[in-house]
Amino acid sequence: MNIGEAARAAGLTAKTLRYYETVGLMPAAARRGSGYRDYGRREIDRLRFIARARGLGFSVEEVRRLLSLWDDRSRASAEVKRLALGHVGALDARIGELQSLRRTLAELATRCHGDDRPDCPILEDIAAGTAAACHDDPPHAPRKPRHNPGPAAARGRAR
């Protein structure tokens, strides 16, 4: 199978397949006499494994570890479970962050009149966060989303 056929069989694009080769998740494919890549059933199975793991949100490094465990037929499933549960914990943390962001944005939207007036609590909050980032955070430090405590705190903010 050529790269396009292999990618389609695994539900990927040829570009993604090349990326997986570049980062070492896929070994370099055998080449035909014409120089084109040639993929077999084993490579397609590996590509599908990678695609499924990535679809579950595992990072490239986590997929690399999962592949190593998958290739090792004498592995203990405890290591696989540990890795999966670690990922579940990371997903739970991310879900919590996203829920907090959602609550904050929903609260800001309820405070915005959404009419012809120029004042907008949404823009004011974003601008206040930008000013804080300029003064409080070290350069290039990722900022944690902050939860807006509600209208009472907003009334105390300088406008």
Q: How do residues 79-135 score in pLDDT, each as one tens digit? A: 999 999 999 999 999 999 999 999 999 999 999 998 998 999 999 999 998 655 555
Q: Does the pLDDT at position 13 exceed 60?
A: yes
Q: The tokens of 58 are what?
A: 């595992």
> Across-strand partners of 30?
38
Between the two ends of the chain, the Cα-to-Cα distance in Å is: 64
pLDDT for 158: 44
Please check whether residue 11 is in contact with residue 20, taking contact to mean a CB–CB distance below 8 angstroms: no
pLDDT for 79: 94
- Alpha-carbon distances, residue 39 vs 21, 36, 42 (angstroms): 12, 10, 8
pLDDT for 36: 86
| Helical residues (DSSP H) of the chain, grouped into ranges | 3-10, 14-22, 41-55, 60-71, 77-111, 121-136, 151-156
- Where in the chain are the domains? 3-71, 77-156
pLDDT for 131: 59
Q: Does the pLDDT at position 40 exceed 50?
A: yes
Rounded Cα distance between 150 and 159, Å, is: 16
Rounded Cα distance between 106 and 140, Å, is: 28
| Mean pLDDT of the residues in the chain | 85
pTM here is 0.70
Q: Which class does domain 3-71 fall in?
A: mainly alpha
